Chains A and B, each alone.
Chain A
Amino acid sequence: MATANPKTQTISLEDMPLPQLHKLKAQFEEEIGELTTAFTQMKQAQATFRECKSCVESMTADNMDKTIMVPLTNSLYVPGKLSNIDSVVVDAGTGYYIEKSVGDAAQYYDAKAEFVQGNAKKIQETIEQKQTSFRGLLEIIQFKMTQQQRQQQQQQAASK
């Protein structure tokens, strides 16, 4: 794991040969990429929950008996009438749906959005940590490469 003792980590990094460092760099890039995707997904999920909440909130007495368009598919709608503004059915996951009052459903979506927000924050923190170690790694690679170049030049000079 990357959460090993930072001191031993830096020492071992400096002792590593360049090809291995490059491998490590690729690994870091992949990890950061994956985490960034996860972060965007979290943000999207959060937006979905917020949208659900605003939909639930529009189930007011004012809108009772109003005509709405119900989507049967993504592109096919049929007219319907809002006949129940008290309860909705909420997706609880793994195929189960639970009937809830409108107020409970709004609370449910708030809790969900908050939960996802917490996860997104954790991911962001991990990304920042990884990026810091990544920058450190890049510095070491740079240092090693210049060192190697200098050695080569010295060897060339010596052989002449």
Chain B
Amino acid sequence: MSEAQRKRLETETMAMQKMQKEYQTLVINRQQLDSQLQENELVDKEFKLMKDDARVYKLTGPVLLPQDKTEAATNVEKRLEFIRSEIKRVDGRIETLAKEQEKKSVEIFKLQMDIQGISKQ
């Protein structure tokens, strides 16, 4: 096994590990976004079902502050929009990263094969 090949395998493996780590954080991120989306969707639904004379409060620290109803509703809608676009972004990144990972693992496999081939000779 040549020194250069071993070095290359090492750097490639490191790059692969880094990718896997990023992938994992992205997946966790995606899950968080999903639960946020669900919670906000429920709030949005509640706002739509709400009676016209109902009062809305927002929890700020330990106190409930009265809120303007339409303002609160648009606020939640904006948040939903933001979360949806974030999900799209993260999904895209996950997809490209998965493809890169696949490529990398093939590369590493080839490299390992090469090294083994040489060491057997």
Contact = CB atoms under 8 A, between A and B. Distances in A.
Nearest to B57: A97
B72 interface: yes
Nearest to B46: A92
Interface stretch (B13-21, B35-43, B103-111, B112-120): B35-43
A92, A99, A100: residue with the most chain B Cβ atoms closer than 10 Å: A92
A120 B40 CA distance: 20
B40 A94 contact: yes
Interface string B32-56: 0000000110110011001100111
B50 A96 contact: no
Contacts of B43: 92-94, 96
A98 B46 contact: yes
- Describe B's contact surface by its main secondary structure: mixed
B58 interface: yes
Nearest to A104: B51
Interface string A99-139: 11000100010000000000000000000000000000000
Counting chain B residues whose Cβ lies within 8 A of the other chain, the interface size class is 20 to 34
A79 interface: no
A36 to B, nearest CB: 18
Given A89-B57, A89-B64, A98 B40 contact: no
Contacts of A6: none
A95 interface: yes
A99 B54 contact: yes
B78 to A, nearest CB: 12
Shortest beta-carbon contacts, A-B, top 5 = A97-B57, A99-B55, A92-B46, A95-B59, A93-B43
21 contacts: A89-B57, A89-B64, A92-B42, A92-B47, A93-B40, A94-B40, A95-B60, A96-B43, A96-B59, A96-B67, A97-B56, A97-B58, A97-B59, A98-B46, A98-B47, A98-B50, A98-B55, A98-B56, A99-B56, A100-B51, A100-B54
